A = this chain, B = another copy of it.
Amino acid sequence: MLRLQGEMVRGGTSKCWIFDHQDVVATGVDIDTLLLAAFNAADPRQIDGVGGASSTTSKAAIVRASAEPGVDVEYTFAQVGVGDERVEWTSNCGNCATAVALYALHRGLVPITSETTTVRMINANTGARLTGTIPTPGLVPPDEGTAVVPGTSALGVPVLLGFQDPAGSTTGRALPTGRPLDTLAGRDGPVEASLVDSGAPVALFDAKAFGLDGNESVAEFAAVVPVLTALRRQAALAMGLAGPDDPVGHAVPKVGIVGPPAGYRTTHGMPVDQDEYDLAVRMVSMHAPHPAIGLTSAIALATAVAMPGTLAHRVARPTADGTLRLGTPAGVISARAVPAPDGASPTVLLHRAARRIARAELLVPAPEGHPE
């Protein structure tokens, strides 16, 4: 049985297991094999491992100190399979980044010299640069706080998560086609789309084009998900994310609809008034409605709203100070764009929360033939 130190940390609405790169190397086992065994990925119930048997609770991050100037830590995000012996390494996860920031503070990877500490991170999967700013009163890393995020009533340490220079993170351009508005060939005719690359590549559609308002319940939105996933392929081709002969992917770009603010109820039944937010959004996660919104998609929306001509700019309530309040099925999530120096695109800030749940030594079944 292999031994592996790890911490279970909630970041926003995800539960992430965080490991130190050195501890992973010390096992002598390749990381895919190690994570698949530790989580019991083969089992849809993950009954023999530390995984939580759902996509939001079957995540890991491997962290190390960075040698790069201006960067404190580097993390690699792993989406570990549930009933599927595969680890996906292709995307970033904003929720896990939030958890990594709190973990890094507690592990002493960042010196605490004032009442607020910023952890500067680089995501190794995508090259994205992020910051996590955490209150450190008394110069000690905090274990508790009263910050909440839509999607859970649990309290946590407040983490101000910043995505630095997010525009063009995948393709090099905020608008990969060079246009704020494109027309894709839908099943029932042409459909307008704004194809944006910021945080992650995202294809946005006007809710009205599908007879919707953008503030529907998850169940109502589910009806148009097949149409949107069909359009995803064309968006990928237009954005240069896939070639005509590539296999059809289901993760890139992210797709969703936007609409003007209007009163609605969250999945938990809480009323949200028209004045409480600026843009209604319903995103697709793989093949199903996203219960809230992925943080990287929130970044793309903040970028899109700031660009005249995009669908998001067209339907959103104009905001003065760069704060965009997104109305999602789980509630309102705010993203604030602040100007950056040196020609970089605006940094986008999100208020998130994290909590360390457990510090553990995992006992991991060694792969066959592996000397322990």
Interface residue ranges, A against B (CB under 8 Å): 1, 8, 10, 13-15, 40, 42-43, 45-50, 52-54, 56-57, 143-144, 151-156, 355-363, 365
Contacts and interface: CB of A to CB of B under 8 A. Distances in A.
B50 A46 contact: no
A156 B357 CA distance: 26
Most chain B CB within a 10 A radius of its CB, from A56, A363, A365: A363
Nearest to A142: B1
B10 A48 contact: yes
Contacts of A362: 357-358
Binding site secondary structure of chain A = loop
Contacts of A143: 1, 363
Contacts of A363: 143, 355-359
A48 B152 contact: yes
Contacts of A10: 47-48
A8 B153 contact: no
26 contacts: A1-B143, A8-B360, A10-B48, A13-B47, A15-B47, A40-B154, A42-B153, A43-B153, A45-B54, A47-B56, A47-B152, A48-B152, A48-B156, A48-B357, A49-B357, A50-B357, A52-B52, A154-B365, A155-B365, A355-B363, A357-B362, A357-B363, A358-B360, A358-B361, A359-B360, A359-B363
